[in-house]
Structures are given as C-alpha cells and as structure tokens.
Amino acid sequence: MPFIDQLHAAERLNDSLMCVGLDPDPAKFPSPWRGDASRIFDFCAAIVDATRDLVIAYKPQIAYFAAHRAEDQLERLMAHIRAVAPQVPVILDAKRGDIGATAEQYAREAFERYGADAVTLSPFMGFDSIEPYLRYPTKGAILLCRTSNPGGSDLQNQRLAEVEGQPRLYEHLARLAQGPWNTTGQLGLVVGATFPAEIGRVRELAPTVPLLIPGVGAQGGDATATVKAGYREHGGRITGLVVVNVGRSVLYAGSGPDFAEAARRAAMATRDELNAARR
C-alpha cells in the first residue's frame, strides 16, 4: 500500500492524527534502565506496545540510535513495529539531503535496511537530491518546509527575489511539493506547530499534501491551533491530512516501572485533544 494510503488507513483504524516520535534518551529512561543504552529497544518497544492502537504513525529519529551505536536496535524496533502494528506506517526521521548518487545510498538505508515507509528529507539541494527516494513507488518523502526551531527563520522565511511574486522560501517549497515535484504523489511537508499561521499558509499553497507537524507538547506548540490551521475535510472525506508528532510528553510521561502505562495515558489524552479540535 502506498505511504499516503497507509496514513489514511491508520487514521481511520485508530481514529487518530497523532504520531509518536521515538527519540530514546537513555539518561531519561525509567530506573533501573536509566543510562543504559543497551535497553533502547526495550524502552521503545514498550512504548509501541502501549500506544499501537492510538497512533497514525511512528517516527523514530535515527540520531538517537546512531549516537549510541544502536543501529541494530533500530532494525529490531522497525521489525517489532511491523509485527505488532502492521497497520501503522513508520517515518524514519533522518533529514537526509545530498547529491543523487549519495541520496541513492541513503534511500537504500531508509527503505531497504530499515524498512521505513517514509523518510524526512532536506530539500535544499534541489529535486535531484529528492528523486532517488521517489524510485520506491510505495514509499513517502517528507520535505522540511517550515520547521519548528527559531533558527528556521534564518533561511525558510526569507523572500526569493528572483521568483515571481517574491514568495518566502517555505512558500516556494510548498508550491513545489504540491505541484511539479510531486507527480508521483509521494511527498509530504514538515511544518512546525510553533508557527500556526505558517501551517495555514502552507495548507493554502499545498491543499492536499500531508503535513507532518512536530512541536506539540514539550516544544510548546498548541494542539488545537495546529489542527485548525492544517487539517481539512470536505463532505466527510479528509482532503488535507495532518500527522501531529508528540515525543517527550509521551515517552517520558512516567519515570517508574509503569512508564508504559503513563505513556499510554498521555498519548490517549493527546489523541483525544487532536480529535476534539477537528470535530
């Protein structure tokens, strides 16, 4: 099933717009695992088992695994998600961006080694750095557009003097992702929850492209404002899907032996808040 179709199927099955970001930091693990990087898989698998019926997607961040030489644990985690939640797509948060020949290898890493359903990418080297990922017809490529960090404005919010209408860079990217770059229908965009006005602007320029929205929860983004700005439906059919990522507020909701149950309660509360905003 193509990635975009997977998202819609998971939304219907789990009645959810919430993605759980799997960013394992051993220093924050519950005792007695605290500080033990060998328990990364165990921690993340417990979170998955506790939330698999509440999410539209999972988003493991590759740096949190690679920094601890835990790529083998990431492979195990991807296999675990496929086994216990085969209906939930997995977005590998890698933010890759390189020339075509190297991009081919990164695409193999994401889709063949790890078996991800989609990957986050930096589009600032142009379309030829994106195209190798689109050779996998059932996979998704989610492009950084208007990110949640304050420094994103250094480039993304600047106007392009040589483009008609002098759009801001993030606006130009949104148009490309809706139009000429997206002939195969595999693209999504990353837009931060900390900029709800920009979410609305991206949705205006890219009305049907799925939006992956980080920044709700610990980063301060407002769940209701996020959904109202980016989610669209018409006649009972979703026309503009949002995938709202939460991480620390779910992963570290509890610090004791019941951490997975605490994560489930936090995830359920966020899922319900997002659903209330769209209804």
Which residues participate in catalysis according to the annotation? 95
Q: How far is CA 47 from the centre of its chain?
A: 17
* Contact call for residues 221 and 192 (beta carbons, < 8 A): yes
Q: Single out the residue of 179, 197, 188, 279 nearest to residue 233, CA to CA.
A: 279
* Contact call for residues 185 and 153 (beta carbons, < 8 A): no
Burial class for 150, CB neighbours closer than 10 Å (0-12, 13-18, 19+): exposed
* Contact call for residues 157 and 204 (beta carbons, < 8 A): no
Q: How far is CA 127 from the centre of its chain?
A: 20
Q: Beta-strand (E) ranges in the chain?
A: 18-22, 57-60, 91-96, 118-121, 140-146, 187-191, 211-213, 232-234, 237-240, 242-246
Determine the Cα angle at 217 with ends 216 and 219, to 5°. Answer: 80
- Widest CA span in the chain: 58
- Residue written as token pair 């644990």: 73
Q: Which two tokens stand for residue 158?
A: 């600047």
Q: Single out the residue of 123, 125, 136, 229 nearest to residue 170, CA to CA.
A: 123
* Contact call for residues 156 and 136 (beta carbons, < 8 A): no
